[in-house]
Amino acid sequence: MMSIDKETTQNLRQDYRSASLLEQDVFDNPFLQFEKWFSEALKSEILEPNAMTVATSTVNGTPSARIVLLKEFTEKGFVFYTNYDSKKGQDITKNPQAALVFFWADLERQIRIEGVVERISDEESTAYFHSRPKGSQLGALTSPQSSSIPDRKFLEDKLASLSEEFSVKDIPKPKYWGGYRVIPNRIEFWQGRSNRLHDRLVYIQEKDSSWKFERLAP
């Protein structure tokens, strides 16, 4: 029987007072605004500021979300790496659109990003793969991500076998592993404010690839 009642969860509240987000204080370019906030998140020393929710959906619109680490951002988009055969990879193959969410509770900030998804080049993926710790490289070879496996021992035995096989030679990047780039067409910056009257500024890409921004009601 569940021991946490409805009243307990309904009474969980936090009044946000640390900062504001006003039109005159932001960049016209959303990537510069993202860089500013991301730099501030890094300086704040919060745990894994590059952790983001990646939401995908099937062609029928069934959503799926999980936490992934951002590994690169430029004006080309936001890059993360995964197994192409994973659930998210299968979704992206059939429906190449995704949403990203960063939530930095200590800063009372959230960023929402929506856009189309493309694979980065195999050369870029290979270069990043070989920059990873050896244990992470072996992990990519070991795990048939999102597939059913019999037990934990299956992974441990496979890892032990691969560790022995590649003890003195380079580990090749698996063909099923690499990077995706989310190319945004909408980026929203949310700053918590008192009385739930939060600041929300959204950048929307125009047909000529320029950006406009507007305020949304909280």
User: Does some domain include residue 168?
Assistant: yes
In the numeric block, which tokens belong to residue 146?
Answer: 């999102």
User: Does some domain include residue 143?
Assistant: yes
> Which residues, other chains included, contact 47 with Cβ-Cβ below 8 Å and sequence gap of 6+?
none
Active site residue 196: yes
- State residue 28's pLDDT score: 96
* Options 181, 193, 196, 215, the catalytic residue: 196
Tell me how many domains the chain contains: 1
- pLDDT for 3 beyond 80: no
State the CATH number of the domain containing residue 159: 2.30.110.10
Residue at token pair 């004006």: 75
The alpha carbon of 23 is separated from its chain's Cα centroid by a whole number of angstroms, namely 26
User: Does some domain include residue 8?
Assistant: no
- pLDDT for 2 beyond 60: no
pLDDT above 70 covers a percentage of the chain that reads 92
Write out pLDDT tens, residues 133-163: 999 999 999 998 988 999 999 999 999 999 9
- State residue 12's pLDDT score: 47
Mean pLDDT on 180-204: 96
Mean pLDDT on 124-138: 96
- pLDDT for 16 beyond 80: no
- pLDDT for 213 beyond 70: yes
User: Does some domain include residue 2?
Assistant: no
- State residue 4's pLDDT score: 56
> Which residues, other chains included, contact 105 with Cβ-Cβ below 8 Å and sequence gap of 6+?
46
Mean pLDDT on 180-206: 96
Q: Which domain covers residue 172, as residue numbers?
A: 17-215
- State residue 35's pLDDT score: 98
Direct distance between the N- and C-terminal alpha carbons of the chain, in angstroms, rounded to an integer: 36
- State residue 19's pLDDT score: 87
Residue closest to 19 by CA, chosen among 190, 191, 189 = 191
User: Does some domain include residue 5?
Assistant: no
User: Does some domain include residue 110?
Assistant: yes
User: Does some domain include residue 7?
Assistant: no
DSSP reduced 3-state for 164: helix
Average pLDDT, the chain: 93
Write out pLDDT tens, residues 63-95: 999 999 999 999 999 999 999 999 999 999 999
Q: Where do runs of H (alpha helix) occur along the chain?
A: 6-10, 30-43, 87-94, 122-131, 134-142, 152-165
